[in-house]
Amino acid sequence: MTGEPDDPRFEWVQVATIGGPEEWIRGRCHHLTPLPVRAYPTGELVARLCPDCDAQLPVPVEPVWMPTA
């Protein structure tokens, strides 16, 4: 393969091989398409799952609205 692979989901790392050409290996995942993980039966969002690398990701924290006095 010549040049970095055209797959934005991952960082790509070029490595040398003994007696052969350099090649690209998949590095860190960018988690571009996380899927929601919901609790049953409440439907509460409890996590996110990256289908590309199977990593469990935290749920984004939403700010809590506080009334002013």
What's the pTM value of the predicted model, to 2 decimals?
0.63
Query: What's the pLDDT at 39?
Result: 93
The segments of the chain whose pLDDT lies below 70 read 1-2, 63, 66, 69
Residue 15's H or E segment, with its range, is: strand 10-15
Tell me: cis bond preceding 58? Omega within 30 of 0 counts. Answer: no
